[in-house]
Amino acid sequence: MDLLKRFVRITYQAYEGFLRDDGWAIASHIALAALMSLFPFLIFITALTGFLGSQQLADQVTQLLLKAWPKQVAEPIAAQISSMLTNTHGDLLTVDVTLTIYFSSNGVESLRIGLNRAYDVIEMRP
């Protein structure tokens, strides 16, 4: 019985700390930053494989889309993805590297803020 009381007390203290440190807001900020950095990274990888001209990767992506989506939806998108993956797009690669770095740094910053609040660390850097 004493173990159960101790477990409930620790769980309640953790929940209070989560609320005190704006846990819901910080968690959503970290999730959004991760999501925002994921898409530029995927576009970067797509542009990089298009720059290198990987026909095998284009065929694999096309097959995955044709299996998961209805044919009327998948065919036009698969044609564009295949075109993107097999044709060189140096301009897209340059722009997307910049966006990937920017959004990734934002994701790291949001994670740093969340960890600082979780561990009650005051940031001393300017």
DSSP 54-119: -HHHHHHHHHHHHHHS-HHHHHHHHHHHHHHHHS--HHHHHHHHHHHHHHHHHHHHHHHHHHHHHT
Let me know: does 27 contact 114? Beta carbons within 8 Å: yes
Residue 15 is predicted with a pLDDT of 93
When mean pLDDT is compared over 3-12, 26-35, 55-64, the highest value belongs to: 3-12
Residue 35 is predicted with a pLDDT of 75
Residue 8 is predicted with a pLDDT of 95
| Half-sphere exposure (Cβ direction) of 57: Cα atoms closer than 13 Å | 16
Is a pLDDT exceeding 80 seen at residue 32? yes
**3-state secondary structure at position 120:** coil
CA distances for 102 relative to 6, 37, 106, angstroms: 45, 8, 6
pLDDT tens readout for residues 59-102: 666 666 567 667 787 777 677 766 666 666 556 667 777 877 88
Residue 106 is predicted with a pLDDT of 81
3 — pLDDT class (breaks 50, 70, 90): very high
**Across all residues in the chain, what is the average pLDDT?**
77
Q: How far apart are CA 94 and CA 44, in angstroms?
A: 9
DSSP state of 122: P
Looking at per-residue pLDDT, the higher value among 110 and 66 belongs to: 110
